[in-house]
Structures are given as structure tokens and as C-alpha cells.
A and B are shown apart, each in its own frame.
Chain A
Amino acid sequence: MTDDPLAPVAPPVQLPPRLQGVEAVQSVRTPFRLEYHASSGQHMAAFLRAMKQKQILGERCPTTGQVFVPPRGVTPTSGLETTELVELPDTGYVESFCITRVPIPGRDDLELPYVSAWVVLDGASVGFIGLVAGIPADEVRLGLRVKAVWRPDEELRETADNIHHWAPTGEADVRIASYELIGAPGRPPAERQVRA
């Protein structure tokens, strides 16, 4: 081990006469562009179409009964394909949140700071990300009951951004049973049926 930890390891380069004393290129611009024509998958398509009707769809885990939103077609608690979609209300509680002062690329309409939050919908087992507004940022708290504020009907598209933000309902806060655990556990994941 040489004693100088930062001693250079690459030997110096010898240049031909025509390059000596010439200002050397140090970096090169290599523009990169790849286009993808992505497909959403079956379950996400159903979720996005429902969103256009101001409806929120989750999927039920075939072994634990947990409800996941948005649906991705396979639940991690079973490792199996989802067979049942579930309609969820647009009400729930704030499970965790973050007052953010960093802009989101492509969302310069958002005034800083904004509150991004994981909202557990009534009947769902996991949080669903969205913005909380209609309440001062420093009053947002774990357990806050909220309801979706949808964009005007003419602006609705196949996107979860149809929910403009979640606003407090004024109902009593949900008591957070444990600060460590998130969502609502269903049946224990270990018990599973192998698909016939």
C-alpha cells in the first residue's frame, strides 16, 4: 500500500507532436434518447378507467384478504395473480406524510411547500400516495381523516392525478395503533393455497 492513498495509479500519457500544447478535450456530449410505447397491464388499466369515473379500484389478495391500491395484478402477500377487484370509497386517513420543499419534475403548478402523504382508504390495507391540502402544512398529522377532492369532470383522464388533493373531513382523527406498522394487516401471509 503506497503511503499516499491518493497517489495516481495511471501512468502519464505521451502525446504525439501534433497534440502537444493543444487544448485537450476533457468531456464529450453523447445525447441519449430512448422511446417506449408502454402498456399498462390489465389491472392498472381497470384502475385508471375507474379513475376517469371518479371511482377507486383496489385488488384483494387471494390468500390474506388484504386490499392493495393501485392494483398491480399480483399481491406480494400471496405471490399469486389477483382474481378480485374491489371498489373503495374516496375517504380514508393519513398514515404518514411529508412536508416537501423540493419541486416535482413536471409539476411546476405545485406551490412549495406541499404535503405529500400516504392515505389509507377505508377498506384498503395499504397507503395510497397523494397530496394533502385545505389545511396548513404544520397542522397535518398522522390519523387525519381526509376525503378526495377530484378535478372538474371535464379534466378527468385515465390517471390517478384526477384526485387533485385530499382535504380534511373534520371527523375525529383515527388513533394510530402503532407508529411502526403501516396499513391494516389481513390474515397472516404464511397460510396460502397453491393454485390448482
Chain B
Amino acid sequence: MAKERCAVIGVGQTKYQSTRGDVSIAGLVREAALRALADAALEWDDIDAIVIGKAPDFFEGVMMPEIVLGEALGGVGKPVLRVHTAGSVGGSTAIVASTLVESGIHARVLALGFEKQSESNAMWALSLPQAFQTSINAGAGGYFAPIIRRYMAMSAAPELVGCLVAFKDRQHALANPYAHLHQPDLTFDQVVESPMLWDPIRYSETCPSSDGACAVVLASEAAAAVAPNPVAWIDATAMRSEANNFGGRNMVNPAASSMCVADLYAKAGITEPRREIDVVEMYVPFSWYEPMWLESLGFAEKGEGWRLVEDGTTRLGGALPVNTSGGVLSSNPIGASGMVRFAEAALQVRGMAGEHQVDGATRALGHAYGGGAQYFAMWIVSAAA
């Protein structure tokens, strides 16, 4: 049987903050889920299945927390799945949920990504002491800094491109009430003068650690037809994984990224992404990844991505706005961040992105990556059925 069409009919997010001290873990995920249900004018019982995504369970010290949280999300008597694909998990969770609708098995599925990092701390949970490993643990920044150094050498990009991205996203965040970092007085010079942590990555060019949850309600064609608000149709989804260390691996533009986007565009019938895609919500935890992903995603030639940053193309109001929500650089609950990209892309084509709406956006790309730039999940959503 042909695949069912699937649409996003509801989006819900929590206020992202370094510590959401006002809620329990169940309270955090219910905040996002209830807002998504309200957007779709649905109750808990209208949902047929739930897919929960989150990164390492060590963040909250609860093994398989979906066992405790299923009931908090109306999951009793229903299928509940838990996805964990590292940093891309928010995206892969939305994709797994869409397969439950596209296969015709369910009419309305709730997909939710979350992380409550303040229960422990990101440094501890991401660099747990491991037996038999060398103690030289580069951590995320130490892992990606050398890759960024290679892109800078390859593209001869001006040294402050990363700061331009960081400053842009923090300004975008001011127009997003949910964003973690709201820094109205931040100046570009402050971004440039911020201390260098993993050369060439400055503190200001890295993402914060946040508590947060993001939920989407996915629906079949019939269920979408009765949704109260505009919907976002899922044109295509794609996922790829590759090993992170082998001879001949392209570290700057990993094959898993280029193959994933090629598969995505083929399914969506996209041949000129720069012209056919109106807005991108891209997973950029370190600022230099914006120019790098612009190239890998086919929006710029090899070594030229930084020009789109420098000439303002990727600003709200530019020809190809990127991360008008403020992106990962402004909010990063790891288990939710991929879902936030997918959800913000949907909000754009539904015309519901509020202050950071890209006028007339009808087609958007949601993008997430994880691990050593080795796990990729992407979707294209559009306003037209």
C-alpha cells in the first residue's frame, strides 16, 4: 500500500533554562506535551502512540525514564517507544514517530524529546570515567575543534566567521520566548573577546547546557484535515550513520551527512535547495558548523559556506535564514535539541513562528546530528499538502 501522508498538527516547547527548578522531570515533559496537544486541540486520549527521545540516561540518573514517564504522558494502554541516537536523537525520534503514521498503523502520534541536564551536569554525564581509556579526554569541544581547524584551513575563511554566527543566533534568540539565552545587551566585540576554550572555539561560540523538552503531534491525512491550526506536511525524512574513525574519512563533510541529504532531497524532489528551501533549522552546537553544514547540505559550494554568513544571507530577513529560533547555540537540552530543530522548521511553514517567523516560508529543512558528526537525521516539511 502507498505510504500515508503525515503532517505536524501541534508543537509544544518548554522555556529552556540552565535549571528548571520549578518542575519535576514529569512536569517538564508534560509542559511541552500539553502545549503541543493544545496547539492540536487534542486531549491525552486522542493520542494513539508515544515516541520519547533522549540522550544518555546518566544525565538524570534514571535508567530508561520512559518507564516512569509513560503514564505522565497518557501512555497507559498505548505503545511507547524510546529512541536514543546520541545528539541526533530529537530528529530520529520525530522520524520514527512519522513511520508509525506513514505505515498506516496509527492516526495521531506524540513525539517528545527532552533532557533535564541540571539533575547532574553535562561535563560529568558526557565524559564518564571509562576503564582502559587514555585520560586524554578531549570532550565535545576538543573533538570538534580540530575538525573546525581543518575547515578554516581548507576554506581560508575569515577568522571571525564563527563569532558572526554566534552573535546572529543570540540576536535571533531574543525573538524566541522559549530560548535559554536572552542577552539583549550582548555586543559583537564581547563575542570576539570571549575566552578561547578549545582553540579555535571561543566560550561564546559554544552551546549552553539546558533543561528542556519539545513535543510534536504527528497526524494522518484524515486527522490533519480536522486540525484547528495550519499544519506542516512531511515531504521527506532521512537518516544515516557512519563510523567516526577510519582511514579516508571525510571529517569536514562526513559521507553520512552528504548521503543523508542526497536521499532527503531525492525523496522530496528538491534539485536546487538554495531556491526551493525557504528556511533552515540546523544543528549548530559550535558556531563554525553553520558554514560547514551550509556546504554539506548543498546551499553553498565547497569552501564557500562562510560567505553566506558574512553577507547576512543566513540572518532573519536574509535570502536563506538559518536558526531564526536562536538554534542550539542559544538552547541545548541535548535529548530535545534535534526535535526543536524539526519542530521549529514545522512552525515556520505553518506560519506560527511568531516574532522569528520568516515571511512567506512554505518549505523548511529540520536537521540534527550526533556522536562524532556520525549520526544524521533530517526532514523537509512544507505548507502545501
- Which residue numbers of A lie inside 8 Å of B, CB to CB? 1-2, 5-6, 9-10, 26-27, 30, 32, 36, 38, 40, 44, 48, 64, 66, 68, 75-77, 96-102, 104-107, 113, 116-118, 125-127, 129-131, 137, 142, 159-161, 179-186, 189
Contacts and interface: CB of A to CB of B under 8 A. Distances in A.
B371 interface: no
Nearest to B23: A10
Interface in B229-272: 229, 243, 245-253
Contacts of A126: 245-247
B123 interface: yes
B317 interface: no
Contacts of A105: 123-124, 127, 129, 137
Q: Which of B35, B133, B134, B138 has the most chain A CB atoms inside 10 A of its CB?
A: B134
Main secondary structure of the interface of A (DSSP, over half): loop
Interface in B50-67: 61
Contact of B138 (A1, A6, A98, A186): A98
Given A1-B352, A100-B198, A130-B134, A116 B142 contact: yes
A59 B38 CA distance: 56
Contacts of B35: 5, 9
Given A5-B177, A100-B197, A106 B135 contact: yes
B34 A97 contact: no
Contact of B38 (A2, A30, A36): A2
B242 to A, nearest CB: 8
A78 to B, nearest CB: 10
Interface residues on B, range: 35 or more
B146 A100 contact: no
Given A10-B27, A107-B135, A142-B153, A184 B199 contact: no
A40 B123 CA distance: 24
A152 B40 CA distance: 67
Contact of B135 (A2, A66, A104): A104
B229 to A, nearest CB: 6
A96 B135 contact: no
B121 to A, nearest CB: 11
25 contacts: A1-B39, A1-B229, A5-B13, A5-B178, A98-B145, A98-B146, A100-B141, A100-B145, A102-B139, A102-B142, A104-B136, A104-B137, A105-B129, A106-B135, A107-B135, A126-B247, A129-B134, A137-B199, A159-B134, A179-B150, A179-B151, A181-B251, A185-B247, A186-B247, A189-B246
Nearest to B155: A179
A189 to B, nearest CB: 8
| Top-5 shortest CB links A-B | A185-B248, A96-B146, A125-B247, A76-B243, A99-B199
A129 B136 contact: yes
A100 B129 contact: no
Contacts of A131: 136
B251 A182 contact: yes
A166 to B, nearest CB: 11
Given A1-B229, A10-B31, A96-B147, A127 B245 contact: yes
B142 A100 contact: yes
Nearest to A96: B146
Interface in B192-240: 195-199, 229
Given A102-B197, A126-B247, A179 B252 contact: yes
Nearest to B176: A5
Contacts of B133: 160
Given A98-B142, A180-B252, A160 B247 contact: no
A76 B246 contact: yes
Interface string B113-156: 00000000001100101011111111101100111011101100
